[in-house]
A and B are shown apart, each in its own frame.
Chain A
Amino acid sequence: MPEQTHTRYGSNIGQPLTRREGLLKVTGSARFAADNHPEGMLYAALATSTIARGRVTFLDVAAAKAHPGVVDVIVPGNTPQLAFDPDDKDSPFTFRMDVLQNDRVRYANQAIAVVIGETLEAATEGAALLAPRYDVEPARMGLDGNETFVPPAVGVGEPPDIDNGGDVDAGLAGSAKRVDATYETPAQYHNAMEPHAIVAQWDGDKLTVDTPSQALTMGQGRIAQLFGIDPANILIRSPFLGGGFGSKALMKGPQILGIMAARRTGRPVKLVLRRDQMFGPVGHRAPTRQTVRMGTDDSGQIQAIHHHNHTATSSFDDFFEPAANLSHTLYAAPALKTTHTAVRLDTGTPLFMRAPGEASGSIALESAVDEMAEACGMDPLAFRLKNYAEVEPISGKPFSSKNLRECYEQGAAAFGWSKRAAAPRTMRDEAGLLVGWGMGTATFPALIFAADARATLKADGTGLVEIGAQDMGQGAWTALAQIAADGLGLDIDQVEFRMGSSDLPNGGIAGGSGHTATAGNAIHAAGGDVIAKLARLATDDQRSPLFGAGNAGVVARDGRLVRRDDESRGESYADILARAGLPALEGQGSAGADQDAQKRYAMHAHGAVFAEVKVDPELGQIRCTRLVGAFAAGRVINPRLVRSQYFGGMIWGVSFALHEEAVMDHRSGRPLNANLGEYHVPVNADIPSLEAILVDEKDSIINALGVKGVGEIGITGTAGAIANAVYHATGVRVRQAPIRLERLLGDLPLAAE
C-alpha cells in the first residue's frame, strides 16, 4: 500500500452524482464510434460464412464489383500484408482471429470477404452478391459427441483442476447427506446495444481509429503487432461504449478487417457489424454442463464439495469457461476440488462475458447448496451461515475483508426472509399464484490491473487529470472524475478530466470489475504526487504561511493547502504556483496489484440476493416479482452508479435464469436466433421491483482507495436465487437454464383434475 504523504480531503468521493455525460447521451450528441464520418469515408460490409465448417470454393467477386457503388472487394489473397500471423499466439490474451488469411471456415458468421462501397447500401448488396459456394464439412456441435479432453488451463491461465488438499471422495463417502446434481447453461452472446464498429483512417504509417474498446493500450498493442507499426503511431479514440461486457476487451477480427480495408483503399473506412454478425467472431459465453457433488454431516456441516464443469471451446483456440472455480471461495469445506473438461466445436472462440465463469458457476453451486440445505432439512440461509467461510476454502488465506454476514442479515431483513415457509409449493398469493422465495450468495474477485495517470495543477489553481480509461456505460466518466477531484483536493467542477483515448496514460483494462480500483488508484496517486510537490514548494518557502509545517503537516482542501495544526493558516494552490513562478505542476501516479498482499490475502466482494417468483399453478408462466440484493464491495465512490451496476447485474441474473439462450441448429452449426427479437433478454415487464443495499465495508489492504468491483457481482447469486425460488414455488427442480415453462408443465396439473 503506497505511503500517504499528506492528507487530502475530498467531498466528491461518496456523492451520488448523476452521470456527467448523461446530457450528451440523452440528447444524442455523445459521439460513439460509428457516429464518425471523416471526409471521403467509405463503407465496408462483411460477407460472412453461412456454414460452420469447410472451405470457401467460390465467391462471385465480379458480380459484387459490378454493383454500382462498390469500390473494392477484399478476399483471401488480396489482403494487405500483416506483420503477425493472426493464427499465432504469443500470450493468453492474444486470441486467434479470422481476417481472410485463407479460405477455411471455422464457424458460422465468420468473415469470408469484405466489400467496400461508397454507401452502406452498395457495400451490403455487394456482399450479398458474392453468393459463396463451399466444400462443406459436418459441423461439430453440442457438449456431447465430440472428444472430451482436459484443457491445459481455464479462464486466463488458471489450472483446470484445483483442490485444497482434502480427500473429496472420502469426504463424500463419509457424509450423512449427499447431493449429486448436474446443471446445464446454454451458449449466450454479449449483445451490447452498440455493435462492434470501427472507423479507420491511415495517414502514411499513422493510423487513427474510432472504435469501442475496453482496453485501449492492449488494443493499440494488438494493432501495432498485426500491422508492424509503432504503437505510438496508433491513436484509438473510444470516449463512449454502448456496452462491452467483455466482448470489446480485445480487438476482434472485424475491427482489424476495417483497418485493412482503409489500408487497401487509402481512404477512411467505416465497418459496423450487423446484429447477426455478432453471433460468431466477437466471442460468447460457452455452454456448460456442471456436476456438483456435495456432502454434509448430520449437523449440516459440509464435508466435501466437488464442482466439475464440462464446457466447449472453438476448434482453433482456447478459452475455457472456468465455471467450477466459483466454488473456491464461498463455502467452507475440508475437502474441496474443482475440475474441468471440454470439447472443441465449430463455433467462434468463447470469450469472457460479464462474470465469466462466475455467472455460470454460480447458478449451479447456488442451486446445489439449496438442494443440500433441503436434504439437511435446513433453511437455505441458516445452511449458508452454518457453512460460512472464515478463510478462503481453497487456499486457507484470510480475506482482506468480508462483510458477507452483514449482507445476509440486511438482505434477509429487507426481503422478509424469516416469513418464508420451509416446504416448497406451500406459499400462494391472493390471486392463487404459487409464490417462491429463493436466495443465492454473490461473489466476485476484487481485481486490479496496471495503470498510469497524469495530474496537472494549472496556474489558476484548477486541475487537469488524464488517463486512458474507458467508460462502457458503467459511469467511469463520473466516478473517476470524483476520484480525480479528491486526489487534487479540488471541487469536481475545478477539474478537467480526460479519458477514452489511447494517447493518454495507460488506463488499464475496463474489465474484471477492476476499473474503478485500477484507474481510480492511479488517478488518486497522480493527484497525490502533485500535492506532494506543491506542499514541498510551500513548506520549503519562507514566504509561505506553511513554511516549516512539513509535508505531513499540510492538508489539501478546496484548492488550498492549510496547516494541519492550524487550519486558519494556509494559501491557495494558485498563490503557491504564482510565487514559485510555475505555469503548472505535473504529477504521475500508477496502480497495480500488490503482489505481497495478494499472496497473503484472498480478495473478493460478496453479496446476498433474495428472489421472489410467482408461477401460475397450471400454466407454468414464471414471473420474477421481487429481488433484493445486499452487497459489500469495499468503498463506494458513487452510490448512485454503484446501485445502477448492481441493478444491471441483477437484471442480467433474471436474464440468465429465465431468458437468454442462443438457439443453435446442430446440423448446420448456425445460431438461429441471431437478433434481438428472438434472442431474449428481459424487457421492462420482466423486471421486478429491485432493491440493492450497499453494505458498509472497509478494506485497508486491498488498495489505497479500498475499492472493490461492482460490475459483475450482481449476476452471481441472482440467477441461482431465482432458480431456487422457482423450486420453492413449484416443488420442481429445473437444472437447465433458462428455466422455461415447459420444464414445469408436467408437474402442474389442472387444479380440478
Chain B
Amino acid sequence: MNRFDYIRAESVADAVKAKASDSQARFIAGGTNILDLMKYDVERPTRLVDITRLPLAEIAERPDGGLRIGALVSNAKLAYDERVRQRFPLLSSAILAGASAQLRNAASTGGNLLQRTRCYYFYDTATPCNKREPGSGCPAIAGVNRIHAILGTSEHCIATHPSDMCVALAALGATVEVEGPGGARSIAFGDFHRLPGATPEVDTTLRADEIIVSVDVPAQDYGQHYTYLKLRDRLSYAFALVSVAVALKVDGGAVTEARIALGGVAHKPWRDEAAERLLVGRPAGLDAFKAVADHILAPAVGRSQNTFKIGLARKAIIRALSQAAAGTPQSQVDKRIQ
C-alpha cells in the first residue's frame, strides 16, 4: 500500500474541493472496497478524503412520497429502515441478499454504487486488464470467465458490476443526486453505470470532481408484487452468478406495470425497458414470462465458461416473475429458493 495523505472533509463543498484539487484523490466512507483495492495496489491514491462526517447519513421523505437516501446511510440501516421495508421491500431484500452482516454495517449507499468489479484479473496486478490498465488487454475473454458478463460486453471487457442493491435501484428507477464544482445535478440510475465499450476503465458517468450526496427513490407501489432472486455458489457472502429484481403491478391477473433488472450478467445493473413493456397488459403467466426472458437474453453472448448463465438467467427471470406475480417474494433470511 502506497503512502497517502488523509484529510477529513467537513462539508460537501469541502469534499468536492479536496477531490477536485487532486486527480488521484479518492473518497473513503465505509472503506469496504477502496481499502481492498489499495491493499492489492489496484488503486494507489495520493490522498484519501474521509467523508464519513458529512451530513449525508439520513433517510428523508421526498415531497412525492419517495425517499431521499443519504449517500452515507449504511447498507444495514437502509435495509432495516421501516419505511424502506414497508414501501420499498425490493430494495431491502436486495441489500440483505448481498455481502455479510459485517460488510453491510460498514458499507455506505454511495460506496455501494461505486464499488468496482470483482473480476479476478482486475484485482491481480500481475495480469493485464483493460479496466485497470487501459490498452493492456482482457485475459478473462479467453481465460477464466465463469463469473463474467453475458450482456453488453465488449471486446475490451466482460466484467460485471457486483452490487445487489443497485439491481433493485435500477428496477425502482432511482436517481443519483450528485454535487460538483459546477453545482448539483441528477443522474437517472440507468445512466449512472456504463457499459464497457472501448473505455472499460470508466465505470460510471460520475465526474471525477463530483460526489454522490443521495440516491432518490420515487414513490411507487410495488409492495405486493416484488422479489429479489439471487443465485450464487454459496448461500451468503458470495456475489451473484445471476440475480433478478422484479417489481410488478397486477390488476385482475394482468400486469399493469413491470420493472425487471438483472445483476451478475453485465457491466451495469441490466434493465430492459422494452422487455418490461412486453409484459404490460398481458396475463401474469408463463407465456408472458418466457417472452420477457427471451427478449432480455436475445443479445446474450456466452464465453468458454459462462454460457450456462444464459440458461440460468432465463430460468431465474421466469422464476422471479412468478414469485413476484404470486406475491411470494424470495426470503433473504431462509436462503431457500422458493
Residues on A close to B: CB < 8 A? 50-51, 68, 108, 121, 124-125, 128, 431, 433, 614, 616, 618-621, 623, 658-659, 663, 665, 667-668, 670, 672-673, 677-678, 680, 682-686, 740-742, 745-746, 750, 752
Contacts and interface: CB of A to CB of B under 8 A. Distances in A.
Contacts of B337: 433, 616, 619, 621
B143 A750 contact: no
Interface string B216-260: 000000000000000101111110010000000000000000000
B304 to A, nearest CB: 12
B118 interface: yes
Contacts of B118: 677-678
Nearest to B305: A742
Nearest to A128: B41
Interface string B303-324: 0000010011001101100000
B13 to A, nearest CB: 31
A184 to B, nearest CB: 15
Given A433-B336, A619-B315, A745-B308, A668 B234 contact: no
Given A125-B2, A659-B234, A683-B236, A623 B336 contact: yes
A752 B286 contact: yes
Contacts of B143: 665, 667
B144 A672 contact: yes
Nearest to B286: A752
Given A128-B41, A685-B236, A745 B126 contact: no
B88 interface: no
Contacts of A668: 126-127, 139
A672 B121 contact: yes
A619 B318 CA distance: 11
A623 B235 contact: yes
Contacts of B241: 741
Interface of B: 1-3, 41, 100, 118, 120-121, 124-127, 139, 143-144, 231, 233-238, 241, 286, 308, 311-312, 315-316, 318-319, 335-338
Given A619-B319, A685-B335, A663 B231 contact: no
A434 to B, nearest CB: 11
Contacts of B286: 752
A672 B235 CA distance: 21
Contacts of A619: 231, 312, 315-316, 319, 337
B336 A125 contact: no
Nearest to A432: B338
Interface centre among B1, B231, B336 (most CB of A within 10 A): B336
B127 A745 contact: no
Contact of A745 (B41, B312, B318, B338): B312
10 contacts: A50-B126, A124-B1, A618-B315, A619-B315, A619-B319, A677-B118, A682-B234, A683-B234, A685-B335, A686-B235
B233 A750 contact: no
A40 B54 CA distance: 40
Given A665-B127, A683-B237, A686-B234, A673 B336 contact: no
A121 B1 CA distance: 7
Nearest to B316: A619
A289 B100 CA distance: 35
B45 to A, nearest CB: 13
A683 B338 CA distance: 20
A670 B124 contact: yes
A687 to B, nearest CB: 9
A665 B315 contact: no
Contact of B120 (A614, A672, A741): A672
B236 A741 contact: no
B9 to A, nearest CB: 23
Given A618-B319, A667-B143, A668-B127, 8 more contacts: A658-B234, A672-B124, A680-B234, A741-B233, A742-B308, A742-B312, A745-B308, A752-B286
A195 to B, nearest CB: 14
Nearest to B41: A128
Contacts of A746: 311
Nearest to B232: A621
Contacts of A621: 231, 337
Contacts of A121: 1, 3
A1 B1 CA distance: 58
Contacts of A431: 336, 338
A623 B335 contact: yes
A686 B232 CA distance: 12
Question: What 7 A-B pairs have minimum CB-CB distances, sorted nearest first?
Answer: A50-B126, A742-B308, A672-B120, A685-B235, A685-B236, A616-B337, A683-B236
A322 B337 CA distance: 39
A673 B234 CA distance: 15
Contacts of B311: 745-746
A750 B318 contact: yes
Nearest to B309: A742
A37 B139 CA distance: 42
Contacts of B139: 665, 667-668
B120 A673 contact: yes
A682 B126 CA distance: 28
Given A128-B2, A670-B127, A659 B233 contact: yes
A682 B235 CA distance: 8
Nearest to A659: B234
Given A433-B336, A745-B308, A680 B3 contact: no
B142 to A, nearest CB: 8
Nearest to B306: A742
B286 to A, nearest CB: 5
B53 to A, nearest CB: 24
A683 B315 contact: no
A47 to B, nearest CB: 12
Given A124-B1, A665-B139, A680 B233 contact: yes
Nearest to B119: A672
A125 B100 CA distance: 30
Contacts of A672: 120-121, 124, 144
B3 A125 contact: yes
Contacts of A663: 120, 144
Contacts of B238: 680
A678 to B, nearest CB: 7
A154 B318 CA distance: 51
B144 A665 contact: yes
Contacts of B100: 683
Contacts of B2: 125, 128
A36 B3 CA distance: 26
A621 to B, nearest CB: 5
A618 B311 CA distance: 10
A43 to B, nearest CB: 13
Q: Chain B CB within 10 Å — which of A108, A121, A670 has the most?
A: A670
B115 to A, nearest CB: 12
Contacts of A50: 125-126
